Amino acid sequence: MPFPIHRPRRLRSSESIRRLVRETELSPNDFVLPIFVCPGEGIRRPISSMPPQAQMSIDVAVEECRQIAALGIGGIMIFGLPETKDELATGAYDDNGIVQRAVRAIKREVPQLLVITDVCNCEYTSHGHCGLVVDGDVANDPTLEWLARGAVSHARAGADIVAPSDMMDGRIAAIRTALDANNFQNTPILSYAAKYASVFYGPFREAAESAPQFGDRRSYQMDPANAREAIREMELDIEEGADMIMVKPAMPYLDIIREARTRYNVPISAYQVSGEYSMIMAAAQNGWIDLDRAMIESLTSIRRAGADFIMTYFAIPAARLLA
Ligand code: PBG
C-alpha cells in the first residue's frame, strides 16, 4: 500500500526542491542556430512565415554571429541562397559559392563560433530537388559526387562540421572518402540520418527558396509512418562513418530520438524545424500560448527524449532566457 507513505508531490513542493531533482537541463551550448545567407550587402530580408528570422547578406550575418557567440550558443548551421540556380546545382560545390564565402567570412571574423554547413543541393537546383533529376526522379549515385564535392568545398572554406541532409543512399561513405582524400580526415560528419518527408519543412522552403518545382521528396526522405526504417538508416550512416546523427523533425519524432539514444553511443541531435517554430510563434502572436514557456518546454522535451543538441530557430531568445 504505497499511499500514504509515498507522496511524489513532496519533491515538487518548492522551486528549490524541483530544481534539485530536475532531470533535464538546457544550456545555450546545446543549441545550434540555422541561418540563411544571401548575396548582396547590408541586407536583412524578413522571412514572413518565421518571424523574426531573416535572410542575411554575409556582412550582416557576420555581425549577427558576434552576438550568437557572445550568448554562448553552441554554433550555427548555414544555408545559402545562391545568385543563380541550374540543373547541376553548380552553386552547391563552387569554392566561391554563397555558403563557402559565408563560412570564410564568419571563420575569419568570429573564429570561436562553431560553423556547421548543411550539405544539400535543393537550394541550388533550378527544379528544387536534392540531386540530379533523371526521368522525373533524383538519381542516387551521380548525386553522391555533387555532395562529396560540396562537403569538401565547405571543409576547404573552414567549416568545422559538415551535415548532409539529402537522404541519398551511401552519401556518408562518399563524403568521408572525399574528405579524407583531400586531407580533411579530422572534419566530422553530422548525418541527417533519420530525415522524414515532413510537411513541417514548409516555412523553410520559403526561407531557403528551395521548394521542389514538381513532385515531392518522398522517394528520398522517409515515410513519417516508419520507425524501424529510421533505425536502419541511422545504423547504416554510423557504419559508413557518421560521427554524429540527427533526427528531423524533432517534436513529432521524439520516439525516434529516444530510440537513437538507447541504441547508439554517438552524439544525437534533433532539428526543431521551421514548421515547429512557426506553429509556436503563430500561436504566441495570437495570444494563444505563452512564447517563452512554449519555447523552453519544447526544447526541454527534445533534450529529455535523448537529444544532446538541438538545431533551433529559438537559439537566441532561449539562450537569453537561460542567461
Ligand atoms: C535541405 C534541408 C531542408 C531542411 C533542412 N535542410 C528542407 C527540405 O528537406 O525540404 C528543413 C529545415 C526546416 O524546415 O527548418 N534538404
Cα 141 to ligand 1 centre (Å): 21
> Span 24-322: which CATH code?
3.20.20.70
Ligand 1 atom 10, closest CA: 201
Domain ranges of the chain: 24-322
In a mutational test of the pocket of ligand 1, which residue from 119, 167, 201, 314 has the highest number of ligand atoms less than 8 Å from its CB?
201
Q: Ligand 1: residues within 6 Å at CB?
A: 118, 120, 122, 130, 165, 201, 204-205, 217, 273-274
Closest atom of ligand 1 to 311 CA is 15
Q: How far apart are CA 244 and CA 268, in angstroms?
A: 6
Q: What is the pLDDT of residue 1?
A: 75
Q: Which portions of the chain are predicted below pLDDT 70?
A: none
DSSP letter for 71, please.
Answer: T
User: Hey, how many other C-beta atoms are within 10 angstroms of the C-beta on 295?
Assistant: 24
Query: Catalytic residue positions?
Result: 195, 248
Which secondary-structure segment (H or E) carries 318?
helix 315-322
Task: State the amino acid at position 141 in one-letter form.
Answer: D
Cα 201 to ligand 1 centre (Å): 6
Location of C-alpha cell 530525415: 195
Give the tens place of pLDDT for each residue, 242-289.
999 999 999 999 999 999 999 999 999 999 999 999 999 999 999 999
Q: What is the pLDDT of residue 52?
A: 97
User: Hey, how many other C-beta atoms are within 10 angstroms of the C-beta on 82?
Assistant: 20
- For residue 212, whether the previous peptide bond is cis, meaning omega lies within 30 degrees of 0, is no
Cα 64 to ligand 1 centre (Å): 22
Ligand 1 atom 14, closest CA: 201
Location of C-alpha cell 537541463: 25
Give the tens place of pLDDT for each residue, 182-192.
999 999 999 99
User: Hey, how many other C-beta atoms are within 10 angstroms of the C-beta on 178?
Assistant: 19
Closest atom of ligand 1 to 272 CA is 15
Ligand 1 atom 7, closest CA: 201
In a mutational test of the pocket of ligand 1, which residue from 33, 143, 165 has the highest number of ligand atoms less than 8 Å from its CB?
165
